[in-house]
Amino acid sequence: MRITLTSILVEDQERALRFYTEVLGFRKKQDLPVVAEYRWITVVSPEGPDEVELALEPNANPATKTYQKALFEQGIPLTSFESRDLVAEAKRLKEAGVVFTKEPARQGPVMLAVFNDTCGNLIQMHQAV
């Protein structure tokens, strides 16, 4: 068994697609109409295997909205992305206007940082050190 698809809750799929591709640098893999105004949108990392996709999942369900809001308000990241050079990546993202809630810092065997994805989530970045 292996992971080939995971999802992230987003308030607005179009805004999320722009942020995850234009700012973070992921590539759009799929963008298909599904139901009403919702789409099946996935992105992949240009640095990772193409079969590992991140779905930009609309938070249309009231339960998901509550969950997403609670995590955000408590400062808990929804997910974590790996970086080979977290300090350089954080600098690049800050220059692109990304707001960090936790600056890059070493925590035990890893370096961590947390940023706001503008779509209702805090995202953690990590790097082994």
Domain boundaries, the chain: 5-128
Instruction: Give 119's DSSP letter.
Output: S
**Tell me, what amino acid is at 108?**
G
Looking at residue 92, what is its pLDDT? 98
| Residue showing tokens 């590539």 | 27
pLDDT of residue 37: 85
Alpha-carbon distance of 24 to 35, in angstroms, equals 27
Q: Rounded to whole angstroms, how far apart are CA atoms 27 and 51?
A: 12
- Render pLDDT for 15-71 as a digit per residue (tens, 0 to 9): 999 999 999 999 999 999 887 789 999 999 999 888 899 999 999 999 999 999 999
Does domain 5-128 fall under CATH 3.40.1380.10? My reply is no
* Contact assessment for residue 103 and residue 93, using Cβ atoms and an 8 Å cutoff: no
Answer yes or no: are the C-beta atoms of 8 and 53 closer than 8 Å: no
Its pTM stands at 0.93
Q: How far apart are CA 116 and CA 72, in angstroms?
A: 9
Measure the CA–CA gap between 77 and 124, rounded to whole angstroms. 6
